[in-house]
Structure 1
Amino acid sequence: MANDAPTKATPSSNKELAMLAEDGRRLLQYVARHGDLTINNDIAKGIISISAKIENNSWTISDEIQLIHSYDRLARQVYPVTIESIKAVVPDTLSGKLSHPTASKTITWYRYYTVFTLLFLLSVQMFYLFGYTLIQTLAAYSDPITNTLPVDIEAHYLLLKDWNHIWMLGQELHFKRVSTNNASGSDLSIAFSTNLIAAQSFIQMLQNYLLPLIYGLLGALIFVLRTLLQQVRNLTYTSSREIGYRLRLTLGCLAGMITGWFLKPGMGEMALSPMALAFLAGYSIEVLFTLLDKLIDGIRKQSNTPSTNQHS
């Protein structure tokens, strides 16, 4: 009977029980609004009645045990939805003031990241295509280069110099003749070849490293946004998932670069397939790393086979 007597409440215990009761009421509201779930009468009665006792500061140890037991049963019923996910997605109105859930803020930030990455990718892609067009035209010019160039070739050459000037951050290419006795080429021909080789090298770096990395990052961002929307719709998003999303972006960049290493296109053959594979690798990094694990396992088995045959 001693356990049924009102417990002398302390500020900390009262606050903890009040928070637990409030969380239980929020779970009950979720069940009431969800069409596929039904509220157990004993659970609802236990949480609501004990919440009233806590507000009046007349709860007992038995009430505390019943509250914990009812909350545990309710949490099992609504799983994988948790009180943390509800607080992260649904605005809080029980306290009398409307709070902005963390899920909406997270989605907003990842939307900004995705739009910025897409705009940056389009800028790099257009810069790449413009330089590639100039390189193709100048590389096909096979006539001897003297002190003058045809008008159309000179226009392409001047544009290529400005294009190199951009990616070199305002710097210009400087060259010196190795031998002044070499009369096989003029200064114009040397400058022409220098700018063309530098542009070709930069194009290779773009299509082998930078573009696959950005495509992989974009794929990872779209996966994160899609996952966020599903979790918000199902009320399963929690703030702790943010760490996994950030790691996902890093792994997406790495997956895109790995795809660029294995699928290096020839000069100008940056067709859709290598970049599309980089995007898919960033979107589904599990598939890429599963294939890499299988490849490593196959190599390990092959390396162990000769040693096994020698011992036998």
Structure 2
Amino acid sequence: MMPDASSPTTLQAVNPELKSAVAEAQLLLAFASRNGKSLTEETVNIVVKSGMQSELTEAEETAFWRHFALLTAAVAPVSAESVQAMASLAGQKSPVQKTVQRYTVTAILALAVLVMLQAYWAIGAFVISDMKSTQAQLSEVEMRILAGGKTTGDSLEPGLAHEGAQESRRSRRQSTASESMELKTKKENLEIYLDANYHWLKLWSRIPNTILGIDTMYDPDNSPEDAIKENIAYLQSATVTMDILQKYLLPLVYGFLGACVYILRNLSSKIKAYAFINASIINFHIRLCLGTLGGIAIVWFVSPEKGADPILSLSPLALAFLAGYSVELLFTVMDTVINAFTGDNASSPREEKKG
């Protein structure tokens, strides 16, 4: 038997959602009043009256739901859930405060890790570049010494036996000896400098050297050949480590940091608009994963070239950060690659969804 429209019912007798809806309406009414939202007097009266009564008639419940919809539309995108998420309980942080703290700390830690990895990479890049430059100089000096040695013992023509010719010969020999001594000194200095570079390289790549067992692979005190092989192994290990850092670890961290920056900016916007809800935390977790994967994935698809598109001409690490901040950049690059293979300018899933 249906209840009469004039007979009162408890807030949960017919609709179990009514009691929670009345509480939400009271919360939104308080928010609207504090923030100067324009509401009709009838809406205010209905919400206030519903909160003061423990029982509502069918007509009163109908009026409540109608004005609750008007109240919700008036304060949108704010909702009762977002107001509750922003509110701090006694002695406890609100959900939004906890989220801000969590992602702020995460971004700071990611930045610290990035700075350490970037500094580590920069030191390795400098040492390897300096070694290659020193080796090139050393090879040039050795070739000059070899070429000078071949011409040192050259005799003058028989017709130059007069005193002036002998003086010229002595001058040439002195100049050659002086140049030869200078080249030998320069060679010794370059060899010492190169040994110092190898020592730096050994310290820099201690972790990969330990993993690969290079430190125990050769005995440089046993023979000069082992010392040479050990130096070559150090250089190869450092080159591989640099490649891993540049292609995998650094883009991963850059993408992660870019995602953190996006989340903090989005979080700031939601706080300003009172639009933060508990479901936002799940979206932030997903975005963090997508941004991190996007940072490393975009490096696989893009090979920056000078004169290309301003975005695609950026360095791989800059692109990794942008992909972490805006995952849509990765999707755009993927669509471009797919269209290049298929020759089809089909619309993206987002455009199909809009259509």
TM-score, shorter chain, exceeding 0.5:
yes
Distance 1:264 1:19, change over 3 A: same
Distance 1:90 1:38, change over 3 A: same
Residue of structure 2 in register with 1:226 after alignment = 265
Give per-residue Cα distances to partners, 1:85-127, cap 9 Å, x unaligned. Answer: 11112336xxxx5763211111110001100100000011111
Give the Cα separation in 1 of the matches to 2:212 and 2:13: 66
Give 1:99-138 correspondences, 5 Å limit: 100-138=93-131
**Cα displacement (A) at 1:64:** 2.4
Q: Is the 8 A contact 2:82 2:274 kept in 1?
A: yes
Q: Which ranges in structure 1 are unaligned for 5 or more consecutive residues? A: 178-182, 305-312
Question: What RMSD, in angstroms, separates the aligned Cα atoms of the two structures?
Answer: 3.2
Amino acid at match of 2:79: T
| Matched-pair identity in % | 28
Residue of structure 2 in register with 1:32 after alignment = 33
**Cα displacement (A) at 1:141:** 3.4
Answering whether residue 283 of structure 2 is matched by residue 241 of structure 1, we say no
Distance 1:5 1:70, change over 3 A: same
Residue of structure 2 in register with 1:2 after alignment = 4
Give the Cα separation in 2 of the matches to 1:207 and 1:166: 17
Q: Is the 8 A contact 1:128 1:206 kept in 2?
A: yes
**Cα displacement (A) at 1:196:** 0.5
Amino acid at match of 2:26: R
Output the TM-score relative to the length of structure 2.
0.71
Amino acid at match of 1:27: L
Residue of structure 1 in register with 2:50 after alignment = 50
Q: Is the 8 A contact 1:138 1:196 kept in 2?
A: no
Give 1:111-190 correspondences, 5 Å limit: 111-142=104-135, 143=138, 150-168=191-209, 172-173=213-214, 174-175=216-217, 186-190=225-229
Answering whether residue 280 of structure 2 is matched by residue 287 of structure 1, we say no
User: Which of residues 80, 83, 98 in structure 1 aligns to 2:80?
Assistant: 83
Amino acid at match of 2:43: I
Amino acid at match of 2:193: D
Distance 1:222 1:30, change over 3 A: same
Distance 1:24 1:99, change over 3 A: farther
Q: Is the 8 A contact 2:258 2:321 kept in 1?
A: yes
Answering whether residue 244 of structure 2 is matched by residue 205 of structure 1, we say yes
Q: Is the 8 A contact 1:28 1:44 kept in 2?
A: yes
Q: Is the 8 A contact 2:82 2:277 kept in 1?
A: yes
Distance 1:69 1:11, change over 3 A: closer
**Cα displacement (A) at 1:5:** 2.4
User: Which of residues 61, 64, 69 in structure 2 aligns to 1:64?
Assistant: 61
**Cα displacement (A) at 1:282:** 1.1
Distance 1:47 1:253, change over 3 A: same
Q: Is the 8 A contact 1:217 1:252 kept in 2?
A: yes
Give per-residue Cα distances to partners, 1:170-227, cap 9 Å, x unaligned. Answer: 76404469xxxxx9x7221111111001101110111111111111111111001000
Amino acid at match of 1:5: S
Q: Which ranges in structure 2 are unaligned for 5 or more consecutive residues? A: 143-188, 306-312, 347-355
Answering whether residue 295 of structure 2 is matched by residue 256 of structure 1, we say yes
Output the TM-score relative to the length of structure 1.
0.80
Give the Cα separation in 2 of the matches to 1:79 and 1:10: 25
Amino acid at match of 1:301: G
Amino acid at match of 2:65: I
Distance 1:10 1:235, change over 3 A: closer
Residue of structure 2 in register with 1:20 after alignment = 21
| Worse-matched range after superposition: 288-297 or 204-213 | 288-297
DSSP 3-state at the match of 2:105 = helix
Give the Cα separation in 2 of the matches to 1:44 and 1:10: 19
Amino acid at match of 2:44: A
Give the Cα separation in 2 of the matches to 1:265 and 1:301: 22
Between Structure 1 and Structure 2, how many residues are aligned? Answer: 283
DSSP 3-state at the match of 1:3 = coil
